[in-house]
């Protein structure tokens, strides 16, 4: 077999050469703006080079985004090599750096959203402990939360199901992509929560959301004529839950009255009342 590097055509291929010293590889490292050794990477030791990258995480002479992106550089250099070997095509240095930035940004956005979700759950649980008002014994309450990143058209969502004493019974989370705005996200999350309750065969459920528009579209259709289709979809979903045929939707209106950790207004529809 040909022992030359198939990317640059010169030196014998090794892991260290492929990741650190190949001319194409050096272009990628330079474009990535990640701090590099003053005299270049070690020509022999892969572990010495990796040690330098790990210790550079504390270097204050570069941005945090640049420093923490090096695992994606290594990963995409390896992927580019395999792409060339198995498909006969490869990306240039600029294209590789663009892919690295996109995937690294997506990863840290996911981490940020998870941290935000955990903080929100802690805040909600603390609020519930202080402000919880018991439901009727046989009813459950499903609180719905969303987090929207406009620049990525990416939404995080979660629902938490509690019994009448406030004990968490079930919870779930997921990501929504390809949506246009926060309103659309909240609607899709509500439909997902309703379908989840149906799939778990739960019948006595109260849904709590924080959006006046969604609640108004259901409870006051004449005031929200543009949302007839949304209202029809919500009611169709609720009809799958037996006890919700005459049940209700409770909405938290946080921004309206500037009461950040308290329930502000409850909206009811159907024949039931809590």
Nearest to 185 by CA among 142, 154, 160, 209: 154
Helices 70-87 and 23-32 sit at what angle, rounded to 10 degrees? 140
Tell whether the model's pLDDT for residue 165 goes beyond 60: yes
DSSP 3-state of 69: coil
pLDDT at 18 over 50: yes
Residues 6 or more apart whose CB falls under 8 angstroms from that of 12 comprise 3, 4, 5
Residue 252 CA to residue 262 CA, distance in Å, equals: 8
Digit-coded pLDDT (tens) for 259-274:
333 333 333 333 332 2
Residue 65 · residue 57 · CB < 8 Å:
no
pLDDT per residue as tens digits for the range 95-131: 888 888 888 888 888 888 877 777 776 766 555 444 5
Q: What is the mean pLDDT of residues 208-235?
A: 83
- DSSP lists the bridge partners of residue 156 as 147, 175
Residue with tokens 């050794």: 37
d(CA 203, CA 49): 59
| DSSP summary character for residue 178 | S
Query: Inter-axis angle of helices 93-131 and 23-32, to 10 degrees?
Result: 40
pLDDT score recorded for residue 261: 39
The DSSP secondary-structure symbol of 63 reads -
Helical residues (DSSP H) of the chain, grouped into ranges: 15-16, 23-32, 46-55, 64-67, 70-87, 93-131, 182-199, 212-219, 228-239, 254-257
């Amino acid at each position: 077999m040909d022992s030359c590097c198939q990317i640059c055509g010169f030196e014998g291929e090794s892991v260290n050469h492929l990741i650190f010293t190949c001319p194409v590889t050096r272009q990628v490292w330079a474009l990535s703006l990640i701090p590099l050794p003053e005299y270049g990477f070690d020509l022999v030791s892969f572990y010495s080079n990796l040690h330098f990258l790990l210790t550079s995480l504390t270097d204050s002479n570069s941005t945090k985004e640049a420093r923490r992106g090096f695992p994606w550089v290594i990963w995409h250099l390896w992927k580019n090599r395999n792409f060339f070997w198995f498909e006969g095509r490869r990306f240039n240095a600029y294209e590789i750096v663009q892919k690295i930035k996109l995937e690294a940004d997506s990863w840290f956005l996911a981490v940020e959203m998870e941290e935000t979700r955990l903080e929100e759950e802690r805040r909600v649980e603390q609020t519930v402990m202080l402000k919880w008002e018991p439901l009727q014994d046989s009813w459950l309450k499903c609180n719905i939360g969303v987090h929207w990143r406009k620049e990525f058209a990416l939404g995080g969502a979660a629902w938490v199901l509690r019994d009448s004493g406030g004990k968490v019974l079930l919870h779930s989370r997921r990501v929504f992509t390809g949506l246009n705005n926060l309103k659309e996200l909240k609607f899709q999350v509500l439909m997902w929560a309703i379908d989840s309750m149906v799939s778990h065969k739960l019948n006595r459920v109260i849904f709590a959301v924080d959006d006046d528009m969604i609640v108004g579209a259901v409870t006051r259709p004449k005031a929200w004529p543009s949302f007839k289709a949304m209202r029809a979809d919500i009611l169709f979903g609720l009809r799958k839950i037996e006890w919700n045929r005459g049940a209700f939707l409770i909405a938290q209106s946080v921004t309206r009255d500037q009461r950040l950790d308290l329930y502000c207004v409850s909206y009811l529809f159907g024949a039931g009342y809590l």
